[in-house]
Structure 1
């Protein structure tokens, strides 16, 4: 089982961020955090890195269900979606497969929730093309 779902697009990086955010909203996700990795690495280490952004996506009803089922699951939230510049014309989007990580937790209710979230994130990735 892969720990992520991904796709590549031949579009502008900033346009892809907007597109991903819109598709996440359609599936009930909001963006809690945005980490600009390349800016952070430049500031902290003075190194150049490709454009790379991490979006911390959360679907509140599912997050609530997951926390009710397993109170330590917050260590694995939110669901991260990355957008990275692969080359001059290609931008990759990858979303975590929550089912892959949630299987480490022996809780059947949590697995059911992770399956539903995985389906939503797969749809987000598939709708980008």
Structure 2
């Protein structure tokens, strides 16, 4: 399992299509989207800046979240799992970065947290690997 705090993938689809594909792939692995921030829209409305498309999604697998919170209630500060989408450098390409939940077990050293955190990383990686390639 990667020790990087962020796992990154390239999807060879335009931003809107890649976002749909990410949501669908996450759903297959049991993750729903609890939060969504349209970064480009926030920058436009608050700062008057025109920026390329970028979104932050909060993905949650209820079974894994429950197991994690039962093992270590403080882990809630790291939930839901962050998934960041942004337009890639090449036309028709989207880059996706997601937090690596496997690192939570080492951060807390709590018995019972390792299994759900590793499972979350496995599922998130499998979801993104099904539609893109690791960067």
Normalised by the length of structure 1, the TM-score is: 0.93
CA distance in 1: counterparts of 2:93 and 2:21, whole angstroms: 15
- 4+ residue runs of structure 1 moved beyond 3 angstroms? none
Q: 1:42 to 1:102 in 2, by over 3 A?
A: farther
* Alignment partner, residue 23 of structure 2: 21
CA distance in 2: counterparts of 1:100 and 1:64, whole angstroms: 17
* Alignment partner, residue 64 of structure 1: 66
CA distance in 2: counterparts of 1:50 and 1:12, whole angstroms: 12
Pick from 6, 25, 33 the counterpart of residue 4 of structure 1.
6
Q: 1:63 to 1:25 in 2, by over 3 A?
A: same
Gaps of 5+ in 2: none
Q: 1:17 to 1:67 in 2, by over 3 A?
A: same
Question: Please, what is the CA RMSD of the aligned residues?
Answer: 1.3
CA distance in 2: counterparts of 1:20 and 1:108, whole angstroms: 31
CA distance in 1: counterparts of 2:43 and 2:71, whole angstroms: 36
Is contact 2:104-2:113 (8 Å) kept? Answer: no
* Alignment partner, residue 52 of structure 1: 54
| TM-superposed deviation, 1:45 | 1.5
State how many pairs are aligned.
Answer: 129
CA distance in 2: counterparts of 1:77 and 1:102, whole angstroms: 14
